[in-house]
Amino acid sequence: MVFTDPEPWQPHVWRSELKDAVTSVAELGRVLRLPLEDCDEGAIAGFPLRVPRPFVARMRRNDPDDPLLRQVLPAAAEKEPVSVLPDGTRLSVDPLRENDYARAPALIQKYRGRALLIATPACAVHCRYCFRKHFPYEDHSPGRREAALAVLREDDEIAEVILSGGDPLVMTDASLGRLIRCLDSILHIERLRIHTRLPIVLPSRITRDLLDILASTRLRVVVVVHANHPQELDSDTARAFACLRGAPGITLLNQTVLLRGVNDAAPALCALSERLFAQGVLPYYLHMPDAVIGTHGFHVTEVRARQIHDAMAERLPGYLLPKLAREEPGRAAKTVLA
């Protein structure tokens, strides 16, 4: 076998692919050769359809049940006035009460030793089940980051900063570089975690400059990507991960949201774990969807979730079994269900 270094993408590619994302249901229908007119445009207001073309390219043509399409296509159910799930869980706009845990604008700390920085409100893709769909980004504007940095400098218990969003990799290399250099200069911070969907939905985001930024910090870098279905992984994601792994000391993990009609079956999730591993990524969490208003169509009961997870445990080596977890406000850690 011949090994060659994987090539990062040229810097202009992701910028133009980001601008060129599909934002109209009619166009998505044309590309997929599907009549999508029965989708409710009203559901789109405030959280419009947005999906980059490299992700669309991995959807099956002429299949309304395609698991990638289901994640991004606005559905009429989003506007149904459902406020309680069949198992009694109440839905709300802010089920995680993230606002209560803000230590400064854009800085959320729920757990000891690690704090989450909202790096940008923007995302490359709009996932219909997103728990930050209704997040008051205007109160957490990255333009007011000084207060957050002051807290990080002050509190030497914080050893890990998690960049989240939105999607932190939507930031340009220049502004991401500035932010990381800033964190790098705070000596008690040891680890930098980046939660991002871009290596999946827009693999061309992996540029030489980005790799240089990640390679030149003294911080240990953990990149947590977000893939929900094996069909999301192809030769481009493999190339993106291979580039990232080439940067010294980077750990690559994946988190998945368990979604009805998308990936609520053990065979699909086992295939996802195996394909992730084949591409150099370890499964981390399998999340129960958060109880956000308008996302009831995606919810899986806890009983069903445990069944699926048990079936996965029977087929996968332990290191490929993600932790089944749920986010509950007021706890010292995420609740691990299995």
Ligand X SMILES: *Cc1c(COP(=O)(O)O)cnc(C)c1O
- Give the binding site for ligand X (CB under 6 A): 108, 110-111, 114, 116, 162, 327, 333-334
Q: Which is nearer to ligand SF4, 49 or 158 (CB)?
A: 49
Residue 35 CB, nearest distance to ligand SF4 (Å)?
Answer: 26
Rounded distance, CA 115 to CA 151, Å?
10
- The structure tokens listed for 216 are 């030149």
Residue 127 binding result from ligand X, ligand SF4, none, given CB thresholds of 5 to 8 Å by partner type: ligand SF4
Residue 197 binding result from ligand SF4, ligand X, none, given CB thresholds of 5 to 8 Å by partner type: ligand SF4
Residue 223 binding result from ligand X, ligand SF4, none, given CB thresholds of 5 to 8 Å by partner type: none
Binding positions for ligand SF4, 100-129, rule CB under 6 A: 123, 125-127
On the CB side of 208, how many CA atoms lie within 13 Å of its CA? Answer: 5
Query: Site map for ligand SF4, 69-98, x if CB under 6 A?
Result: ------------------------------
Q: Which is nearer to ligand X, 167 or 327 (CB)?
A: 327
Rounded distance, CA 165 to CA 132, Å?
8
DSSP conformation class of 318: G
- The structure tokens listed for 8 are 């990062």
Q: Is 197 near ligand SF4 (CB under 6 A)?
A: yes
What is the per-residue DSSP string for 176-221? HHHHHHHHHTSTT--EEEEEESHHHH-GGG-BHHHHHHHHH-SSEE
Q: Which residues contact 15 (CB under 8 A, 6 or more apart)?
A: none
Size of the site for ligand SF4 (CB under 6 A): 10
Q: Which is nearer to ligand X, 17 or 290 (CB)?
A: 290
Nearest Cα neighbor of 124 from 221, 205, 242, 61 is 205
Binding positions for ligand SF4, 152-181, rule CB under 6 A: 165-167
Q: How far is CA 320 from the centre of its chain?
A: 19
Residues forming the site for ligand SF4 (CB under 6 A)? 123, 125-127, 130, 132, 165-167, 197
